[in-house]
Structures are given as structure tokens and as C-alpha cells.
Amino acid sequence: MIAALANPHRFMAFSRWAAPILGALAAILICAGLALGFAAPPDYQQGETVRIMFIHVPAAWAAMIAYGCLGIASFSYLVFRHALADAAAKAAAPLGAAFTLMALVTGSFWGRPMWGAWWVWDARLTSVLALFLLFVGYIALRAAIDDEAKAARAAAILALVGLINLPIIKFSVDWWNTLHQGESIFRAGGPTLAPVYLAPLALAGFGYIAAFASLWLVRTRAEVWRRRSANLALQAATR
Amino acid sequence: MTTAGLLFRRELALAWGGGGGPLMALAFLAAVTAALPLTAGPSPAGLAGVAGGATFVSLALSSLLSLDRLFERDLEDGSLELLALGPLPLEGVAAVKCAAQWTATGAPLALAAPIAAVALGAPILAAPIIAAVSALGGLAFAFVGGAGAAVALASRRGGVLIAVIVLPLLIPPMIFGGAAIWAFTEKLPWTTSFALLAAYSLAALGLAPFAMAAACKNALS
Amino acid sequence: MITALRLRSVGVRRGERLLFDGLDLDLGGGDAVALVGPNGSGKTSLLRVVAGFIAPLCGAVTFEDGKGPVEPAEARRADCHMVGHQDGLKAGRTAREELRFWSLWTGSDGRGVAAAAERLGVERILDLEVRQLSAGQRRRVALARLIAAPRSLWLLDEALAPLDAACRALFGEIMTGHLQAGGLILAAAHDPLPTPARRLELGA
């Protein structure tokens, strides 16, 4: 299916109906997830603030999936030289950064009542911060190179280097967290999940992923249009 | 003399030439080390707890300093093209450059790091582990940093861009190296951390040259 | 030992512009081709395609030695000299050190350095630092590289621009000597080359 989508015309036709449908699906799933989440009983430890989990955790998942998509698109661009793959990569990065930022901010709000501090250096938040820096680096690199083709390739190489490093970074941060466990006041990985929270979390999770997919399709379409119009403008100017 | 050796000697001579490469990095290390007590207060108890970690951070930052010189100068004056038309493949050229970078600045920094750490209050017995960790970590910083420098080549706007790209990638060696130093000073088992650092540095040594070569070819195109 | 360079249906695109397409070119031992055309017609790009820095949009570049085709990467790294707009010399080093390094790098044993410098008339400035040399002197040091380490294919991109008429004539003799020994020259130049050469016009 991916190979079929690589054709720009087919992609544009596909995304035309796929994006709104995914968007609607995302809205439904997120609303359902949040409704269930608010209907669920408050956590015995965290009280009402546990609800932020349904906003924070799926955002972190979406952020990681976004980087995975960035990596796959970059790999496709480097190996198959598809311009569409590069457009998709370029479109995914700011989206990923936004989801990561959302995860960081909501994580901070979630942590405040629980841990008494606006920021804690636990495994998940630190990993998400590292992910945020990876996105920022990618976006900065693309913006700093004037030649679009060179920018695309350089950024693709960086994305792959980041993708390979990502599990290592995650592992090292988790490992670092367990190492300094004795000094922290909270358990690694956050509180264990009561089953009553699983359903809303899963719903919200799928909803966020659908939202990412929808927004990604929209941004990629916009990038394709931008390139087409730039191309036309150049051709008109040099005629 | 092999071609790799020839290039290595030249890179070393260039690094030590114009403006004393290691001296600048050492001066930077001293300045950044001094910044900690200046900003956080000179109380020995407060400093001793973070001495090892702060030194390692300063080391990472010092190794970022000369990164934009690694490939940028050669791209500017046309040497990179000539190096690409030589007997050594670009992967080899990149590896030799990073190795020379580490020898010229990373190794002197590794020798100076224990001094900085002790100045901040680390126990003198930790000096060997700090030197070893700094040497190994410096290797990772040089090669991963080289990948960042190569990728940022086409931008002709090195410096901070390279730092932004490279710093998140340096999180694992910083964690492993810092943990080794910390565990040693706390009399806890440190060998696992050290082994993880060694594994990371060796992996960087083996894999980064491919990314560097691809990025250099991109910049040359 | 490259004896032939063949380009078949080569097309090059830079950014969004198609510079040229369907270009055919054959160079044999002793052949020199001058690339002519207005600025932006693709002379530098063609040279860089042959050198392997730019991938062509279409078409193929093949190298042959006496026995048959040679792997292009091998041919470029072992038997190709390039002199572009820049000299490739480090400002803080002496001309001798730079010339020696590049001749060693391109496969010679370093003994040709003195003779090459003398041929190009730079033997007296060899021990000066590169930053102390004029543009013409730097270019002559860069060109000395071509004879200090012999390689079959010379790719020259406006290589003679900073030289005065006397130096051009001198280098013309050097180029003729190279061709007579079976070398190949592909050169981009606004002015006529100081050695007999076929013309290939780009951007026509």
C-alpha cells in the first residue's frame, strides 16, 4: 500500500478523503476517551489530577510514533529518492515537536500536584525532553540549509542517526532513572495503571494517533502544493 | 606511511597549528569549570556532590568547540573535494579526521578533566576513573559530534546548530560516563556503566563514519 | 591508467533547472576537450558529474583502461586530478608542505615535488606560508600538484583564470606534454585553452 501511495497523484487523491475521515475518527476517539476518563473514579493517590494522564500519555505516544514516521520517511527518501517521502518527513517534524511539547507541558502540570515540583527528572519526562531536542535539531537543520535538495538529504541522514539513537537514549534514561532510584520520591515509570483507566487511555491513545495521521496527511498535502507552486513560479519566471 | 597515517598527521598538525587547538579547549574547560562555583557558591559540600558530573558536562561542551572546524574549513577551501579524490574512501577520511580531533583535543581534555574535578572537590582517588571515562567519552563525543558537523556542513552555519543537533545524541554517553564516575565516588559498582560507555563509544566509532561520509557527499553535490 | 572517458546521454539538473540533457562525449588518450558556454550553462556541473560529486539525472559516465571498463569510484580515486575554483591549500601551512601532502595523497612518493615546483616557476616560494602568496602563486602551487603526482585524467574548472599570459603559455606546454604522454584533459574555460582542444558547447 505504501508503494502505491508513493505516486504523488494517488497520494493526493487518497489523502483527500483519508485526512478528514481520520480527523473525525480522532475527534470521536478522543472525546470518548476523555469522557470515559472523567467518568472513571479518581485515583486513591492522585485524586482528580489523574485525569491529566489521558491527555499527557497519549501525547507522548503520538510524539514517539511521529519520530518513527519521520525516520521511515527519511529512510524512504534516502533509499528510493521519492520527493513525496521528503515532503512527508518535512511535514512530520513540526507535528512531532508539537505533540512532544504538549506531552512536556501536560506532564509538568500532572507532576505538580503529585510530586510538588513543576518539573521532575523522571524517566518518561526526560526521554520526552530528549525527543523534543531531536525534533528541534531536525527542524533547525532543515531551516539552516538553503539548498532544498541538500537540506532534505542532510536532514534525512540526521533523522536516521536520531532513530538509531532513540532506543539507546530511551534505554540510557531508563537505566539512569533506576540507578538513582533511591533518591527519588516516586516510583520509576509512574504509578501502576488500574484497569479502569486502561480503556479511556487506549481510546485516547488511538485518538491521538488518528489525529497525528490526519494532521500529517494534511501537512504533507500542503507541502506538496507548496513545492508545486514554487516550481510553477520558477518556470514562469525563467520563461 | 599509509595514506591514513598521512592524513592523520596532517590533521593533527592543522589542529595544533593556527591558535593551539588543545590550549583553547583546555582554557575553555577551565573557564566552564570555574563557572560552577562562581554561580552556585563555593561551598565544598555542595560542589563535591556534582564535581564529577559537572566536569563531564564541561568536557562534552569543550569537545563541541572545534567541531565546526572539522569539515567546514575543508569544504571552504576545496580540500574536501581533493580528499574525496584520494585513495582513502570518504568513510576512512571521516574516521581519521575524528580520530585526529580526539587525539588533538579529546585526549588532552581527558588528562585535564581529573584536575578540574578535583578542583571542584572530587576525591583524588577518583582521578583515574575520571580520566578513563573522559577519554572514552571523548571518543564518543568526537565521532558523534563529527556526524553532527558533517550533517550541518551544507548549512555553512556551524557552531550552535551543530551543538543543538549533537547534544541529544550525546545523552547516552553522558549518562553512562556520569554514572560510572558517580558510582565510583559513591563506592558502588561502576563496571557496568563503564562497559556501557565503552560499547557506545565503539559503536559510534564504527557507525558514525558512514553517516559522515554520506553527509559530506551531500554537501559536495 | 584511464585511457578513455565516455559520457552517454548525460543530463544534469541543479535545483529545479535542467541544465542539459542527452549529452554524449568521448575522450581518449591524448584528447583534450574545452567546455565552453555562458555562465550557468553547466560547465562546472559537468566536470563535477565526471568527478563523481554530482549524480547525473540520467545517462552514464564510464571510464576505461586498456583492458576494459573500470569501476568509476576506483578510477576517480586513483587516476583523476581536479583543479576547481579553489586551490585546496591551507593558509597556515607552507606551500612545500601542502604540495608534498597532496602529491603523497594522490599516490606519488613525494620526490616529484621539487621538479614540479620548478616547472611551474614556484620553487623559490615553496617555503613561504600559503597566506603570504598571491592568487597567481597559489594557483601555480595548486597546478604543480598535477605534475608532482601523475594521474591520467585532468578535470580543470577555470583553472587558468588567475594566471597571467606567460604562465598560461607555460601551463599550455605542460598540458601538451600531458596529452602527448596519453593523458586526458577536460577543461571548462571562458578563454581558449593554451593547447589544441576540441570544443564542446553547452547551453547552446
The full set of domains in chain C, from first to last, is 4-201 (3.40.50.300)
- Facing residues of C25 across strands? C7
Q: Which chains does chain C touch, 3 or more C-beta pairs < 8 A?
A: A, B
Q: How many CB atoms lie within 10 A of CB B77?
A: 17
User: In chain B, which residue's Cα lies nearest the Cα of C13?
Assistant: B221
Q: What Cα–Cα distance (Å) separates residue A190 from each residue in A105, A127, B16, B217, C192? A: 16, 13, 50, 45, 76
Distance from CA of A210 to the nearest CA of B (A): 28
* CB-based contact B79 C90, cutoff 8 Å: yes
- Most trustworthy range by pLDDT among A134-138, B70-74, B182-186, C68-72: A134-138
Q: Are A191 and A43 in contact (CB under 8 A)?
A: yes
A4-44 pLDDT, tens digit each: 677 888 888 888 899 999 999 999 998 888 888 888 777 76
Question: How far apart are the C-alpha atoms of B112 and B120, rounded to whole Å?
Answer: 13
CA distances from C84 to B79, C92, C141, C162, C178 (A): 10, 20, 13, 12, 18
Residue-wise pLDDT for A27-37, tens only, equals 999 888 888 88
Q: Is the pLDDT of residue A172 over 70?
A: yes
Q: Give ∠ CA B2-B5-B9 in degrees, rounded to 5.
A: 145
Distance CA C195, CA A109 (A): 76
Size of interface A-B (CB pairs under 8 A): 88
Mean of all residue pLDDT scores within chain C: 90
User: What three-state secondary structure class fits C71?
Assistant: coil
| Window 108-137 of B, Cβ < 8 Å to C | none
| Phi, psi (deg, nearest 5) at residue C11 | -125, 145
Residue A163 contacts B, CB cutoff 8 Å = no
Q: Chain C within 8 Å of B79 (Cβ-Cβ)?
A: yes
Q: Is the predicted pLDDT of residue A186 greater than 50, yes or no?
A: no
Cβ-defined contact of C78 to B87 (cutoff 8 Å)? yes
Q: Please, which pLDDT band fits residue B50 given cuts at 50, 70 and 90?
A: confident
> Count of residues for chain A?
239
On chain C, the residues whose CB falls within 8 A of the CB of B14 are 90, 92-93
CB contact under 8 A, A141 and B215: no
Q: What are the beta bridge partners of residue C20? A: C12
pLDDT at A1 over 70: no
What distance in Å separates the CA atoms of residue B166 and residue B150, rounded to the nearest whole number? 11
Which residues lie across from C94 on neighbouring strands?
Answer: C129
For the cut 50, the answer to whether the pLDDT of residue A185 exceeds it is: no
C-alpha cell recorded at residue C107? 599516490
- When mean pLDDT is compared across B13-22, B77-86, B108-117, B194-203, the lowest value belongs to B13-22
CB contact under 8 A, C15 and A147: yes
Minimal C-alpha gap between C40 and chain A (Å): 13
C15 touches chain A (CB under 8 A): yes
**Which spans in chain A are helix H?**
2-5, 8-39, 53-80, 83-115, 123-144, 148-179, 195-237
Give the Cα separation of B69 and B159 in Å (integer).
Answer: 9
Q: Which residues of C touch B86 (CB under 8 A)?
A: 77, 105-106
Q: How high is the pLDDT of residue A189?
A: 47
Interface of A with C in 146-205 (CB under 8 A): 147-149
Nearest to B154 among A147, A161, A173 (CB): A147
Nearest-neighbour CA in chain C from A163: distance (Å): 27
Residue C48 pLDDT > 60, yes or no? Answer: yes
Indicate yes or no: CB of B218 within 8 angstroms of CB of A150. yes
Mean pLDDT across chain B, nearest whole number?
A: 91
* CB nearest C107 (choices: B14, B77, B87): B87
Confidence of residue A181 (pLDDT cuts 50, 70, 90): low
Q: Which residue has the higher pLDDT, B115 or A178?
A: B115
**Does position A166 have pLDDT exceeding 90, yes or no?**
yes
Q: What is the mean pLDDT of residues A126-153?
A: 93
Quick check: A135 pLDDT over 60?
Answer: yes
C-alpha cell, C59: 545517462
Tens digit of each residue's pLDDT (9 = 90 or more) over A195-230: 777 888 888 999 999 999 999 999 999 999 999 998
Please give the pLDDT value at position A196: 76
CB-CB under 8 Å, C15 with A231: no
The SS3 call for residue C63 is strand
Taking chain A, what is the end-to-end CA distance rounded to the nearest angstrom? Answer: 38
Question: Cα(C92)–Cα(A200) distance, rounded to whole angstroms?
Answer: 66
Q: What number of CA atoms fall less than 13 Å from residue A166's CA on the CB side?
A: 23
Question: In sequence order, which residues have a C-beta less than 8 Å from that of residue B26 and are 6 or more positions away?
Answer: B62, B108, B109, B112
Q: At what angle do helices B191-220 and B90-101 cross, to 10 degrees?
A: 130
Average pLDDT, stretch B175-198?
Answer: 92
ipTM of the complex: 0.91
Mean of pLDDT over chain A: 87
Q: Which residue, A3, A8, A2, A7, is CA-closest to A223?
A: A8
Of C38, C44, C125, C36, nearest in space to C86 by CA:
C44
| pLDDT > 70 fraction of chain C, expressed in percent and rounded | 100
Q: What integer pLDDT is reported at residue B18 of this predicted model?
A: 67
Contact between chains at A154 and B176 (C-beta distance less than 8 A): no
Least confident of B10-19, B175-184, C52-61, C158-167: B10-19
Of B168, B172, B219, the CB nearest to A137: B168
Reported as a single tens digit per residue, the pLDDT across B56-89 is 999 999 888 888 889 998 998 999 999 999 999 9
Residue B35 confidence (pLDDT) above 80: yes
More confident residue, C1 or C145: C145
